[in-house]
Structure 1
Amino acid sequence: MEINLKGFQKLLSQLTSFDKMYEQVRFVDPVKKEVLMVKHKNQEELVTVLEPCFGIWGKGEVCKNCISMRAYNENDTVIKIETSSDEIIMVTAIPVKIEDRMVVVELLKNVTKSMILGDRELTESLEIKRLLDQANIAAVTDELTQIYNKRYIIERLPVDMLKSHLENQPISLLMADIDHFKKVNDTYGHLAGDFILKEVAGILGKNTRQGVDWIARFGGEEFMVCLTNTDKEKARAIADRMRKAIEDTVFSYNGEKIKLTSSFGLSTLTSEEMIDYETLIHCSDKKLYEAKKTGRNKVVG
């Protein structure tokens, strides 16, 4: 999409009061993960850059707890502390509309020398980095299963869908559900149910490509698996492998032997198609519903 320089300049003129407060002002497209324009402190003009927005942090990967994606989705201002290799940065993300385009303004302030947590000043940057990294990971992690949570789905799935579209690659989405999970809780107790959820999450994780695919807990006993660059045939084979692994596992809990099955719904989006992430989830969920209504322990899609 062509950049409307006048629109950005007009917005920037309204932010002149921030010049001395922030080291950088960035205009970001959080879905494409691109910095569109940037203005450094005391710099007169905006500079067009078109570079990955996560590059500034020096981690070589998309942020797991993306502040700008959250601001974009919630249409609200969000503040976050982030770390680069040697600095601690406070980021304020503000969603704005320039003509018909929604972007996020990021205000970046270096707070390395002024971090105070509670009643003590933190001067050890490595300790601060560790605490902040832990907090960012925790924000998108399901506490029980230690896989991603629903917030991560909302922030990551639209990005992967767009990336697949731009790279002319398919993307497949699995929705998985443990069959008759209520019976496990009623028979063996809720702690046993928690144990089963963690074990199933582990089985799903073992059948995905690390660093390429990802899994998340959608809610209750329902899981989501995102398979990037994966067509329907391959995705169905992966889902069936997961299903069989769950069926073949004897789960041992407090001396009890528990056997389970699971159902899967599958939807694949080709590069020619473009729908929103909620529609893709709905399509996979409908297929899951069909699998459960037609006998369970199967993959539909």
Structure 2
Amino acid sequence: MFNINEIDEDLKKYADNLKIFDFYRLIDINKFKVYDYHDKELIDTETNCYDIWKKGTPCKNCSSRNACKNNSEIIKLEYLNGKIYLINSEPITINGKVMVIEFIKDITNNLLVSDKTQNNNLDISDLIEQMNELVLYDSLTGLFNRRSFDQEINRYIIKYDKEIKSLFLAVFDIDCLKDINDTYGHVIGDNAIKYISDAIKEVLSSEKIKSFRIGGDEFYTIFIDFKDIEVNDYLEKLNNYIENIDTEFKLSVSVGYSEYNSEMSINKLIEIADKNMYKMKNIKKSLK
């Protein structure tokens, strides 16, 4: 972190009130690298943005990535060595390069937190961890959400060909969920979504498999360092498991997947998996 008093004149325009902050940093959101900036020159500090928080890996709740993706200010809290920091992340363009500037404030002595259930004896580090985790999970299913997927897939792509050798994305869609909603109501439709998410948790259980509810009846799963045949076996097991769930309605999913390569964009990875999923869905319709 750089002292706010040393900020370059060209960067001052990005903060409404520099006096309220203690530090600032410039982040390359594609590489998680920290840069200094003086006299119109970007200087690579050869440090990762997450190093300061001693996590050893990019933050799950990366405010810089979210700020850049949404093209808006994002605020979060972090805890380090007994101190609480407020981080305000804003997207900027420096020398034609899209980056994020983080303004940081030590708010340890300015933050009041009350928890009636704990009689105010609250571990603030746990509270911040809980707050940061909440934004990453889907409230209905307990799976990771779309925001979490966006962060995780970027993190794995950065590691691709260095720490990981293969990366697959599977896309799931519940068959005929509209019919279930129309026949039984949306509460039962939500139960169908929960059945699928529970099946995903049960069958796709591995440290190298990450599953997400993207929205509605759509789910994504990332497979790290698996062979094509292994991914296919997992998905067949999931299909069989779901089709044997005992419910008052027929429950099944259509699945498609794709393998990442270094010349592929994330959107292309999703597009191929999505097309393969719809091929399966159309085959099922033709067999009825």
Pairwise TM-score range, normalised by the shorter structure: 0.7 to 0.9
Identify which of 166, 170, 193 aligns with 2:166.
170
TM-score (norm 2): 0.81
Give the equivalent residue in structure 2 for 1:285. Answer: 274
Give the equivalent residue in structure 2 for 1:247. Answer: 243
TM-score (norm 1): 0.78
Q: Give the stretch that moved more between structures: 52-61 or 279-288.
A: 52-61
Q: 1:86 to 1:60 in 2, by over 3 A?
A: farther
Q: 1:247 to 1:47 in 2, by over 3 A?
A: same
Q: Distance in 1 between matches of 2:8 and 2:44?
A: 12
2:259 matches 1:260 = no
Give the equivalent residue in structure 1 for 2:220. Answer: 224
Aligned residues: CA RMSD: 3.2
Give the equivalent residue in structure 1 for 2:30. Answer: 31
Q: What residue identity is the alignment partner of 1:32? A: K
Q: Distance in 2 between matches of 1:221 and 1:168?
A: 29
Q: 1:210 to 1:89 in 2, by over 3 A?
A: farther
Residues 63-113 of structure 1, C-alpha deviations (whole Å, 9 max, x = no match): 222100111112222222222352211001122222232221112211011
1:59 deviation in Å? Answer: 3.9
Give the equivalent residue in structure 2 for 1:151. Answer: 147
Q: Distance in 1 between matches of 2:263 and 2:85?
A: 35
- Fraction of identical pairs, as percent: 27
Residues 129-173 of structure 1, C-alpha deviations (whole Å, 9 max, x = no match): 333323222222211111122222233322322322544622111
Q: Distance in 1 between matches of 2:13 and 2:218?
A: 46
Residues 239-274 of structure 1, C-alpha deviations (whole Å, 9 max, x = no match): 2221121112224xxxxx44422110111113xx32
- Give the length in aligned residue pairs: 273
Structure 1 residues without counterparts, runs of 5 or longer: 1-7, 40-45, 252-256, 297-301
1:288 deviation in Å? Answer: 0.8
Give the equivalent residue in structure 2 for 1:275. Answer: 264
Q: Distance in 1 between matches of 2:45 and 2:206?
A: 31
Structure 2 residues without counterparts, runs of 5 or longer: 1-6
Residues 112-131 of structure 1, C-alpha deviations (whole Å, 9 max, x = no match): 1101369x9xx968443333
Give the equivalent residue in structure 1 for 2:4. Answer: none
2:189 matches 1:193 = yes
8 Å contact 1:145–1:197 — kept in the other structure? Answer: yes
| SS of structure 1 residue aligned to 2:270 | helix
Give the equivalent residue in structure 2 for 1:254. Answer: none
Identify which of 81, 84, 92 aligns with 2:80.
84
